[in-house]
Structure 1
Amino acid sequence: MANHSPVEIDPKELARAEGMWGSFTKLIKWSIIASVAVLVLLAWLFV
């Protein structure tokens, strides 16, 4: 069953989670940019 009592927030854990989320969003941004660049390059080469 779920625990409905309030949870204490550890500031160190919160900072680690925010840093991990920031790293994840940067990785996704550059992955999308790289994917678009590859698709544009392939379109340019084969069209």
Structure 2
Amino acid sequence: MERHLPLSNDFLLITYKKAIKLKLPKEFIEMLREELEKRQLQLK
């Protein structure tokens, strides 16, 4: 199943970092991580 997150790269990165900090569900964090990797962004 293809998931598409229509977020800007900056917003995606911010959301990813907040998700980890807030200990959101692993599935959500994993979805964000996959999207970041797909866009080949640098995880800081």
TM over 0.5: no
- TM-score scaled by structure 1? 0.36
